[in-house]
Structure formats: C-alpha cells, structure tokens
Copies of this chain bind each other. A is one copy, B any other.
Amino acid sequence: VTDTAKYVTDNRERYETELAEFLRIPSVSTDGGHADDVKAAAEWLAEKIREAGLEDAEVVATDGHPIVVASHITDPSAPTVLVYGHYDVQPEDPVELWTSPPFEPDIRDGRMYARGSIDDKGQVYMHVKALEARLKNGVGLPVNVKLVFEGEEEVGSKNLEAFLKSNTDRLAADAVLISDTGMFSRDIPSVTLGLRGLAYVEVICRGPKGDLHSGSYGGAVVNPANALCKIVAGLKDDQGRVTIPGFYDKVQDVSAIEKEGLAKLPFDEPGFIAETGVTELDGEVGFSTLERLWYRPTLDVNGLLSGFTGEGAKTVLPSHAMAKVSMRLVPNQDSSEIAELARAHIERLAPAGVTVEVNEQHGGTPWVGDPSSPIFEAGAAALEKSFGNKPVFIREGGSIPIVPMFESLFGPVLLLGFGLPGSNLHAPDEWIDLDMYNTGIMTLVDLYDEIASRGV
C-alpha cells in the first residue's frame, strides 16, 4: 500500500482541516438543546463517507439521535468487518476552564484541541479517511466493510441495541472494529483487551419541603446536605474499599499471568502524577496503580449540588442535596445488580429525618477480549508495521458499554484506539495528537490487508 501511504501523506493537511470542520459541530448528546447539532454532525459525516467511496451512507432516524450507516461490499464471500464509533460528544462544561473554545478547534504544539477530538470524532474520522485513501486511490478493499456510527454513546447508547437487533442481516459481520480507546504511550502501541463496566446512580437526599434559614432551624432539622455527605462518606472505608455489601462478590482476582504482564509495562508513575496534578496517588489498599485502574472496581462522585453555591455566604438549610455517583465495574460484576446493591446500601445509610431517592442512570457491562482470535493478531500486526514496535495488550479503566453487546451480536471485537494518555477526554482541553491521527489512519489502511491475509 505504498501508493496509499503517499495518498495519506499528500492529503494530511486536508484530513486535518476536515476533522476541524467535524469538531466545530457541537454534537452534545446529553443536552436536548443540541439535538439539531447532533443531527447536523450525522448528516455531515454521512456526506463525507459518501465522498470517501461508500456511496450508500445514510442517516437513520431513531427515537433519539440518528445512526449513520454505510457499507462497501467487495465480495460477498470475503470476510466482513463492522466498524463502530460515535460522533456525539460529552458536554463542554466547565467551559471557563478551556484554553480555547471547545467547539473552535485550535492547533497548539501538534495537538488539535476541541471537544470530541479524541472521544470519538477524531477516531471515527480516521476510519473514514483510511477508507478514502484505499477507495479513492484505486487500491480498493480486500474485505467487506460496514460502518455504524451512533450519536448516543455519551448517553448510554439508548437506541443502538434495538437498531442493531433489527438490522442483523444488513450489518452481519465476522468481526467488529472499534477505535474509542487509547495507547499505553506514543512509543508503545497497544490493543485494549479489557474494559471496566459502569453503574451510575443519582442520589437525591430530601429533608425540609423548602429551603430553611439555618439559624432559625439549624440543629433541630436534619440537614440533607450533611446527610448526603454522610451517606457518600459511608460508601468507602478507610482502606479505599467500597462498603456496599456484595459489591466484590463476583470480582475476579488479578491472575498471575496478568500480574506478570503488568509488571513488564513501563508505567511512569511520576509522569502520571504530574499529568493529573495531584500531590500523591491513593486508592484501594493492596493494589498497584494499574491494578486499581484496570482490574479493580471503584466508586467516584461525579457531581455534588446543594443549597447556595454562589459568591458569598447564604445561611440556608437546603431542602435537598444531590450526588451523582458512578461505580466502575470489572468482570463479572453486573451493572444492574450493583446499582440495586448500591440503592439498598444508600437507603440503609440515610439518617433519620431525610429520605433518599436513588435514580439509576446508564450502566455498562465490563468486558475482556480473547487475544488468541485472528482479529487481535491482525490488529497487533498492523500496529507493529506502523509504529515499528510490537504492541502490548492493555486494559482500559473506562467503559464502552456496547462492546459486549457487539460481541454477542456479531463476533469478536478489536479495540484499536489511538488516544494518548492525558488527552482530557470528558474534561476541558481535550486534544488529539495530529501525528497519531496520521499514524492511526496508516494503521487502519494496513489493517484491512492483515485481516484479509488471516481471515477472521
């Protein structure tokens, strides 16, 4: 594919300009006010896919945000790869912490900064450009390719499962390819073999029917904000372990072979500390940082809100307090079961005088892949070719709840992602490394040959 490599290189600037155009569309799926932008991003993406040579690309409406579907059938008897990604993005707030506006892509030091640059628009667009490089260059594709890009990944892929299940014939494939993860580092290409799952609940603690004056009532009326803090504090013990009864029952121990692999990875703990900006790391006692991130479940508060939060001092005894609490899960924890265990424990922890409401938000099943399947070997070979280094198998602390679903519906899933550590996904100043963007496109170009030569 030397000609294709030249094509990618020759078109590098245009590929970046087009990505910036894609990133300018604020396709925030959590916010109903952005529904038209999400749709516009879908239309824009479908048009670019058609221009890349997959002429049947279409935007399919759902009960929520639309799904973009396309295909290129080289030979019905050849293997078929289904590529999944998402063109929706996380909310941009807190917007005041961005160095440049989240929807005005800005290139600094070889990085393009914008919401969605790495999660996941940038990676979705790498696939589109890799396909363009092959199809527009006359090299063609040695396998069949189908694309399915959704607009609801950041809100739990609410309509995806129904769509996939009612289109199993149209989308039928032998393997699934997803680029929504990261590399261990720039020099260590990696294939992600495991993902944590998620159980996310919103806890609302209610006391008085309206806000009260904290002088006139304080001391005799239970304060829902104090109560909420007590509940949240009670969810973890001094060893950093989650206290929810039954929480660890199905957690698998880190195996000896996994511990051995972990020990070989050149994890840069001081670099990780510097990247996050914390004074020191801490977590569940008895586990290393990578074990805490990849192999152990955990519990984090994602948001707190109660009473008066403006400038100055308002002496209010708030009527209610809210915490968003998410738990990252590992095999074989079940998201709904854990959410139920959490609800029961939170209700037990609630002090007299308040009532709690626990609303389950979206969840996701934890996942581990099989490194001996051909699709993983193909991925590893393509990475080695582009990066010049043998890839490592890693896990990812985050969740892609649809991965286990794709696996059960279509076949083995290869997670081949190009994010670098510290890309600020879900945070201000999210970025994509533009060299990685280019190398990733090259890798995806090659991957199709590796798949064709191995079968799936």
Using a CB–CB distance below 8 Å, which chain A residues touch chain B? 30-32, 90-91, 93-94, 97, 155-156, 182, 196, 198, 200, 202, 207-223, 225-226, 228-230, 232-234, 236, 272, 276-284, 289, 292-293, 296-319, 321-324, 326, 328, 351-355, 361-362, 396-399, 424-429
> Assuming the A-B contacts A277-B208, A318-B303, are A216 and B311 also in contact, with contact meaning beta carbons closer than 8 angstroms in the complex?
no
Partner of A303, one of B225, B398, B426: B225
Q: Which residues of B contact A276 (CB under 8 A)?
A: 208-209, 212, 217, 221
Task: Report the nearest B residue to A296, measured CB to CB.
Answer: B219
Residue from A228, A230, A352 with most neighbouring chain B CB atoms (10 Å): A230
A212 to B397, CA, bound (A): 12
Counting every copy of the chain, the complex holds: 2
Q: Which residues of B contact A425 (CB under 8 A)?
A: 213, 216
A222 to B300, CA, bound (A): 9
Q: Closest Cβ of chain B: how far from A429's Cβ, in Å?
A: 7
- Nearest 10 CB-CB pairs, A to B? A215-B398, A209-B277, A219-B298, A233-B233, A225-B301, A229-B232, A30-B312, A313-B361, A211-B427, A303-B307
A362 to B313, CA, bound (A): 7
Query: Do the beta carbons of A283 and B220 come within 8 Å of each other?
Result: yes
Q: Closest Cβ of chain B: how far from A428's Cβ, in Å?
A: 6
Q: Which residues of B contact A282 (CB under 8 A)?
A: 220, 222, 351-353
Q: Which residues of B contact A156 (CB under 8 A)?
A: 313
Partner of A279, one of B97, B233, B353: B353
Query: Do the beta carbons of B31 and A315 come within 8 Å of each other?
Result: no
Task: Report the nearest B residue to A362, measured CB to CB.
Answer: B313
Partner of A229, one of B229, B319, B424: B229
Q: Closest Cβ of chain B: how far from A112's Cβ, in Å?
A: 18
Q: Closest Cβ of chain B: how far from A149's Cβ, in Å?
A: 20
Using A214-B300, A312-B361 as known contacts, list a sample of 17 further A-B pairs with CB atoms less than 8 Å apart, ordered by residue number in A.
A30-B310, A155-B313, A208-B278, A211-B426, A211-B427, A211-B428, A212-B424, A213-B425, A216-B293, A216-B398, A219-B292, A219-B293, A222-B278, A229-B232, A232-B233, A278-B354, A315-B326
Query: Do the beta carbons of B315 and A198 come within 8 Å of each other?
Result: yes
Q: Which residues of B contact A289 (CB under 8 A)?
A: 220
Q: Which residues of B contact A299 (CB under 8 A)?
A: 226
Query: Do the beta carbons of B278 and A221 come within 8 Å of each other?
Result: yes
Query: Do the beta carbons of A303 and B328 come within 8 Å of each other?
Result: no
A397 to B282, CA, bound (A): 41
Task: Report the nearest B residue to A209, measured CB to CB.
Answer: B277
Task: Report the nearest B residue to A313, measured CB to CB.
Answer: B361
Q: Which residues of B contact A304 (CB under 8 A)?
A: 225, 228-229, 304-307, 309, 321
Q: Which residues of B contact A210 (CB under 8 A)?
A: 97, 277, 424, 427-429
Query: Do the beta carbons of B215 and A396 come within 8 Å of each other?
Result: yes
A221 to B292, CA, bound (A): 9
Q: Which residues of B contact A427 (CB under 8 A)?
A: 210-213, 316
A321 to B214, CA, bound (A): 21
Query: Do the beta carbons of B93 and A310 come within 8 Å of each other?
Result: yes
Query: Do the beta carbons of A305 and B305 come within 8 Å of each other?
Result: yes
A196 to B289, CA, bound (A): 48
Query: Do the beta carbons of A353 and B280 come within 8 Å of each other?
Result: yes
Q: Closest Cβ of chain B: how far from A291's Cβ, in Å?
A: 9
Query: Do the beta carbons of B307 and A324 come within 8 Å of each other?
Result: yes
Q: Which residues of B contact A308 (CB under 8 A)?
A: 91, 93, 302-303, 324
Query: Do the beta carbons of A301 and B30 come within 8 Å of each other?
Result: no
Q: Closest Cβ of chain B: how far from A423's Cβ, in Å?
A: 9
Partner of A233, one of B230, B314, B355: B230
Query: Do the beta carbons of A279 and B355 come within 8 Å of each other?
Result: yes
A91 to B248, CA, bound (A): 46
A221 to B322, CA, bound (A): 22
Residue from A198, A289, A300, A308 with most neighbouring chain B CB atoms (10 Å): A300
Q: Which residues of B contact A209 (CB under 8 A)?
A: 276-278
A213 to B318, CA, bound (A): 29
